[in-house]
Amino acid sequence: MRWCASIPTIAALLAARPAAAEPLAEVSARIGAGLAAGGGAGRSTLRGSPVVATFDGAYAINAEPYVWGFAGLVLETYDRTGVGLEGGLAVPVGHRGRARLGARSLVRPYTLHGALVGASWCWPAASLRGCVDVEADLYVAGTDLPKKTAIAQLVVAIGVSFDVW
């Protein structure tokens, strides 16, 4: 009869899923658009931002707490076309979120240099996840900026992320 008492325990152990570990490396792709604001010398403008596509790779540089370093390629198109690079750090926020902080430089055919801060929320589905991303960029230097001006962008993007390792 004692074996009957252990059946619920065995069933619970078999049904329990192991805790999901954070990935050590991942790749992501996003595309989005939003609003851009710029100005200086007493003038300002507000318009649609370029369509921004990013292709990033991230690697865990610390495991407790998790911190990922990321780097990738940035493509801007629509009314301002450019190619550049981005890089920085990402940390988990809650169970499904990530916060990012880094730098971005567009290098061709003009230059823009600045900072980015962003947050992602992903739907977990095995190693492939669909994500929604909100990102703010602030460009403060480059050949595409008149002196004493800056461009700020707020971009909402959708994308996918998948674990490599």
CATH number where 72 lies = 2.40.160.20
Q: Is the previous residue joined to 65 through a cis bond, with omega within 30 degrees of 0?
A: yes
The answer to whether position 8 is within a domain reads: no
The answer to whether position 1 is within a domain reads: no
Residue 97 β-bridge partners: 93, 121
pTM: 0.82
Q: What is the pLDDT of residue 14?
A: 43
The answer to whether position 60 is within a domain reads: yes
Residue ranges of the chain with pLDDT lower than 70? 1-22, 40-42, 125-126
The answer to whether position 52 is within a domain reads: yes
Domain count, the chain: 1
The answer to whether position 100 is within a domain reads: yes
Q: What is the pLDDT of residue 145?
A: 87
Assess contact for 97 and 82: CB atoms under 8 A. Answer: no
Residue 110: φ, ψ to 5° = -135, 180
Assess contact for 122 and 130: CB atoms under 8 A. Answer: yes
CB atoms within 10 A of CB 124: 11
